[in-house]
Structure 1
Amino acid sequence: MKPSLETRDLTIRFGGHVAVNAVSCAFHPGTLTAIVGPNGAGKTTYFNLISGQLKASAGQVLLGDQDITGLPASARTKRGIGRAFQLTNLFPNLSVMENVRLGVQSQAGAGMQLLQLWSHRRDLIEKTDEILASINMLDKRDAIVGALPHGDQRKLEVALLSALEPEIFMFDEPTAGMSVDEVPTVLDLIRAVKARGNKTILLVEHKMDVVRSLADRIIVLHNGQLVADGEPAEVIASPVVQEAYLGISPDAQMEGIAHG
């Protein structure tokens, strides 16, 4: 199957520091790929290079057959790359309903035009309420987003990204800062996207239980380099991941086995 998204020798340097170092990786529709690694490994920087928040020093980003390396983030979004950030990226002075409404209007091709259209589009109103119901926030539809707890803002951002229906979904630590009770709602939204079977999903996540429950594939970055790529059980068990991500050296693993 042809990749929907691909990076070829993707690299970025900040002065003398190489934050992402010649990473080549292909991603396919219907697959959720988790990107893991220790703090400072280059995961979010790699995401920023793909979505266009940062400009590559070298290498390419391909969206299907299109080389989008030189395009800004806005142009990549229009071509189907959707990104949810570590820090919420919402309209804080608008209501919950208005935030979702803008996403629904955009996806339906109504753009931001003429607010009076909104009141006459029952289908769009129903779609907005359906999205709010999926995150248990119908009762907060009139609340101002900036006044919401962090967990509600995270849920809303993931729901809004789903409403936009991009071809490529990029989730950067979607459960960060959420309570244990709130996490399942966000994970269910991601599972619903995955269940469609035709979307490409990239997920940066520190919580290994979340990774295990969602990922079809794991890639591991360490010091800006791709050091492992494969099925979750295989990658998590590999010595390079045990050492780089979990801080367990091969000697300690052998000692643990000897004392097991």
Structure 2
Amino acid sequence: MLETRNLTIRFGGHVAVDHVSCAFAPGTLTAIVGPNGAGKTTYFNLISGQLPASEGQVLLDGMDITRLPAPLRTRRGLGRAFQLTQLFPQLSVLENVRLAVQARHGGGLNLWQVWLDRKDWIEESREILATVRLLDRHDATAASLPHGDQRKLEVALLMALEPRVYMFDEPTAGMSVDEVPVVLDLIRALKARKDCTILLVEHKMDVVRELADRIIVLHNGALVADGDPATVIASDIVQQAYLGGVAAEVGLEASA
């Protein structure tokens, strides 16, 4: 469904992502790991269109989308959640989701479109909020939500867009121990559907081990390992990349 070919970006003389070629199949969850500065978020930014590639290609269903801006990639089926939550802070929780539903149905982002004309959009939005356990907060502004609920609302926005590729950049970052399971359950449910591709940047290795079908490892912008979780974590190249040969598990848990 999704593929990068020799994907590269340079900032001056620094190569942040270095000729990364990787394909991601439908129905799979791939975890992208690596030490700080490895290029994980930058790789995400290249795929989703937040940064222009210096070289290489991004393909979705075989179509080259490398030069498309981020909004058009979203319309083609790429859904992205960020490390820092991206919401409409002064709108209500329900209005945030309703706008995403409206955009998916081709209604644009006109906040003042008469809601009563499309009660089906409202009902769909409420069903999504119930799924992420935010229906009881539907009238609250997004800005008033605690951090964990804002992360859940961002997942709700992604679900409302119904992308074919879900990209989660550290979805549990900053969440309390009690809040983490809700987001992980949502990702687990998406994976169980088998009709979408999921990419996950995550530094918590217990999460990676549980959810990932596959791990790819970036180091200094390059792809250095790719395979099933047990094999990748045990590989010599991964252990050497993390803390100079200290056990991979220790290094991976310390990475971001």
TM-score by length of 1: 0.90
CA deviation after TM superposition for structure 1 residue 104, in Å: 1.6
* Match of residue 83 from structure 1: 80
Distance 1:234 1:107, change over 3 A: same
CA deviation after TM superposition for structure 1 residue 74, in Å: 1.4
Distance 1:114 1:160 in 2: 15
* 1:249 correspondence with 2:248: no
Distance 1:131 1:251 in 2: 41
Q: Which amino acid aligns with 1:249?
A: G
* 1:73 correspondence with 2:70: yes
Structure 1: segments with no counterpart, 5+ residues:
254-260
* 1:155 correspondence with 2:140: no
Q: Which amino acid aligns with 2:29?
A: L
CA deviation after TM superposition for structure 1 residue 68, in Å: 1.1
Q: Which amino acid aligns with 1:174?
A: P
* Match of residue 28 from structure 2: 31
1:118-169 deviation per Cα after TM superposition (whole angstroms, max 9, x unaligned):
2243332222111111222112111111121111111110121011111111
* 1:189 correspondence with 2:186: yes
Distance 1:250 1:150, change over 3 A: closer
Q: Which amino acid aligns with 1:11?
A: T
Match 2:103 to one of 87, 103, 106: 106
Q: Determine if contact 2:233/2:248 at 8 Å carries over to the other structure.
A: no
1:33-92 deviation per Cα after TM superposition (whole angstroms, max 9, x unaligned):
110001100000000000111111111111122111111111111111110000001101
How many residues were matched structurally? 249
Q: Provide the secondary structure at the position in 1 that maps to 2:124.
A: helix
Distance 1:84 1:251, change over 3 A: closer
* Match of residue 217 from structure 1: 214
* 1:180 correspondence with 2:174: no
* 1:166 correspondence with 2:163: yes
1:173-231 deviation per Cα after TM superposition (whole angstroms, max 9, x unaligned):
11100001111111111111111111011110111111111111110000000000001
* Match of residue 253 from structure 2: none
* Match of residue 227 from structure 1: 224
CA deviation after TM superposition for structure 1 residue 105, in Å: 1.7
Q: Which has the higher mean CA deviation after the structures are superposed, 121-130 or 27-36?
A: 121-130
CA deviation after TM superposition for structure 1 residue 250, in Å: 6.5
* Match of residue 256 from structure 1: none
TM-score by length of 2: 0.92
- Aligned-pair identity in percent equals 73
* 1:134 correspondence with 2:147: no
Q: Determine if contact 2:132/2:152 at 8 Å carries over to the other structure.
A: yes
Distance 1:179 1:252, change over 3 A: closer
Distance 1:231 1:252 in 2: 14
Q: Provide the secondary structure at the position in 2 that maps to 1:121.
A: helix
Q: Which amino acid aligns with 1:166?
A: P
Structure 2: segments with no counterpart, 5+ residues:
250-256
Q: Determine if contact 1:81/1:167 at 8 Å carries over to the other structure.
A: yes
